[in-house]
Structure 1
Amino acid sequence: MELRQLEYFVAVAEEAGFTRAAARLHVAQPGVSAQIRQLERELGEPLFDRSGRGARLTAVGEAVLPYARAALAAVSGMRQVADEFTGLLRGRVVMGGVATPSVLDLPGMLAAFHERHPAVEISLVESGSGQLLDGVVTGRFDLGLLGLGGPLPPGLGVQVVVDQALVAVVHRGHELAGARSIRVAELKGLPLISLPPGTGLRAALEEVCGRAGFAPHVAFEAGEPYVLGQLAARGLGVAVLPESAVAGAESELHVLAVVEPELRGRMGVVWRADGQTSPAARAFIEHARRHLPDLAE
């Protein structure tokens, strides 16, 4: 039994598929499959049910997964202890993030950390806020950069890095194009264009509309804020998006402030404040918090 086999086994279990695990590990998919089959032969039992789409753990797979994770953690701990004697920080950190405003300079933050700790491998994964939050809670991500909506699960730390107004935008020929603002209550029944569920913007929109006594009618969804504006420019509805996402499209769009109450969108970095983290992860979290803004509420 080799550590590589255990690493591949854990990756396939967490990704629920051989192809996604291979992409995460930066290896060819046949190699992952071959190592898992070898591990199954050594254990004498199948670890995955391959009958459907993806790969689901069998009962045996579920039972041995904690031991595989513990073995990998023990080896990582041995390396970390040895590295502490040489002053070298090594390991792997995983950051999950959504599309971010350029003002945050995320590439600069990552480059500065790599320059300081070249032996630490950094992985950046893009996903929705809901999946990112779950990934931080379960330990898949060491740090998440995501939209903030409702309350966070216990045991997490958060630093707000973006706090900006959310605005409503329509095309220049829309009946609302003559107004400067729109009350939240006036959004009722309008065909809205929004980010999908699980994002901080969508959570903020649903929360403020719920307080006004109605559920928003979202006619179109898109995963990128700038696409929301493009849909509105084609006359498909009223887009709700961050104020910064309108920049450069004012010739096609009319912007309305959302009032009574004001609608705001927040983004933050989130990490596990409780539980064990590797030295590399701790250093990365501290570096990110120093580099990124800290907007006190």
Structure 2
Amino acid sequence: MELRQLEYFVAVAEEAGFTRAAARLHVAQPGVSAQIRQLEREMGEELFDRSGRTVRLTAVGEAVLPYARAALAAVDGMRLVVDEFTGLLRGRVMIGGVSAPSVLDLPGMLAEFHERHPAVEISLVETDPETLLDDVQSGRLDLGILGLGGRMPDGVRVQVVVDQALVAAVHRGHELAGRSSITVAELRDLPLISLPVGTGLRTALEEVCAQAGFGPHVAFEASDPLVAGQLAGRGLGVAILPESAVARAASELGVLAVTEPVMRGRMGLIWRESGPKSPAARAFIEHARRHLPDLAG
């Protein structure tokens, strides 16, 4: 029995298919099938039911799976211990994010860490805020960057890395384009362009509108602030955006400060309070916290 066979077995079980497992493992599908067949011969039992449209574990496969995972985890643990003794940092770091302003210089942060620790594999995925938060809490992601709105759940730590005013952006020919500011109350009944429900910016907009006694009329949603600005530039509504998102398009848009009250958009670095188990992930979180601003105060 080889560790590679156990790795393939776990991948097929988790992906419910040989093709998806092969893609995950970056190997050819026939090779995965052959190794699983060899493992089944050594075990003397079939581990997968291949009769249906999807591959399912047999009763024996279900019983064996926890032990296969434990064996692979033990080997990973041995490697980490050796790496810590030798000073070599390797492993994998999973980061989740939403569209972040350029002031954060995420590429620079990632490149600097990679230069220091070239043996660490870094994966960056974009996802929606709710999924991102769930994945950080569960440990599927080591770190997340997202807009902040409302209270963070217990067990999640936050470092505020962006705190900027939210503004209203309109087409140059819009009736509001000549003004320098607009109150929250004046947003009532205007067709607004905003980020989707659940984002920090959308939550901030909904909270101030609720305080003024109305719900915002959001005519268009865009997950990317730059796209929202482009929609406003086409005359499709009033975009509520962070200052940094309209800076590059200020010549094409009329930009108004939002007052009474002033709206602010915040983004935060989030991670589990208990911390990740991987030394690589711990090192990356420390690096990100040093590299990015800390605006909590």
Query: Which TM bucket (shorter chain)?
Result: 0.7 to 0.9
The alpha-carbon distance between structure 1 residues 264 and 112, as it changes in their structure 2 partners (threshold 3 A), is same
Q: List per-residue Cα deviations over 1:99-133 (Å, max 9, x = no partner).
A: 22222111111111112112111111122222221
The alpha-carbon distance between structure 1 residues 207 and 15, as it changes in their structure 2 partners (threshold 3 A), is farther
Paired letter, 2:46: G
Aligned Cα RMSD in Å?
A: 3.3
**Seq. identity, %:** 72
Paired residue secondary structure (1:177): coil
Partner of 1:254: 254
The alpha-carbon distance between structure 1 residues 86 and 169, as it changes in their structure 2 partners (threshold 3 A), is same
Structure 1 portions without partners, runs of 5+ = none
Paired residue secondary structure (2:235): coil
**Per-residue deviation, 1:226:** 0.8
Partner of 2:83: 83
1:159 equivalent to 2:159? Answer: yes
Paired letter, 1:291: H
Partner of 1:109: 109
1: CA distance, partners of 2:31 / 2:217: 45
The alpha-carbon distance between structure 1 residues 56 and 245, as it changes in their structure 2 partners (threshold 3 A), is farther
- Corresponding residue pairs, total: 294
**Per-residue deviation, 1:22:** 6.0
The alpha-carbon distance between structure 1 residues 21 and 45, as it changes in their structure 2 partners (threshold 3 A), is closer
Partner of 1:273: 273
Paired letter, 1:169: A
Give runs of aligned pairs for residues 32-71 of structure 1, distance below 5 A.
34=33, 38=37, 44-46=46-48, 51=53, 69-71=69-71
Partner of 1:178: 178
Which has the greater radius of gyration?
Answer: 2
**Per-residue deviation, 1:139:** 0.9
1: CA distance, partners of 2:39 / 2:155: 36
**Per-residue deviation, 1:274:** 1.3
Partner of 2:26: 27
Paired residue secondary structure (2:175): coil
2: CA distance, partners of 1:181 / 1:159: 30
The alpha-carbon distance between structure 1 residues 178 and 6, as it changes in their structure 2 partners (threshold 3 A), is farther
Structure 2 portions without partners, runs of 5+ = none
TM-score, structure 2 length as denominator? 0.84
Q: List per-residue Cα deviations over 1:270-295 (Å, max 9, x = no partner).
A: 11111552111111100110111111
Paired letter, 1:258: V
1: CA distance, partners of 2:236 / 2:73: 51
Moved over 3 A (4+): 1-23, 28-52, 55-72
Paired letter, 1:85: F
**Per-residue deviation, 1:235:** 1.0
Partner of 1:296: 296
Q: List per-residue Cα deviations over 1:163-212 (Å, max 9, x = no partner).
A: 00111111122122232222222222221111112322122222222333
Q: List per-residue Cα deviations over 1:132-178 (Å, max 9, x = no partner).
A: 21111111111111111121111111111110011111112212223
2: CA distance, partners of 1:262 / 1:93: 37
The alpha-carbon distance between structure 1 residues 247 and 158, as it changes in their structure 2 partners (threshold 3 A), is same
1: CA distance, partners of 2:167 / 2:12: 42
**Per-residue deviation, 1:248:** 2.5
1: CA distance, partners of 2:215 / 2:57: 39
The alpha-carbon distance between structure 1 residues 36 and 235, as it changes in their structure 2 partners (threshold 3 A), is farther
**Per-residue deviation, 1:20:** 7.2
Paired residue secondary structure (2:151): coil
1:214 equivalent to 2:214? Answer: yes
Partner of 1:239: 239
The alpha-carbon distance between structure 1 residues 292 and 275, as it changes in their structure 2 partners (threshold 3 A), is closer
2: CA distance, partners of 1:224 / 1:26: 32
Paired residue secondary structure (2:265): strand
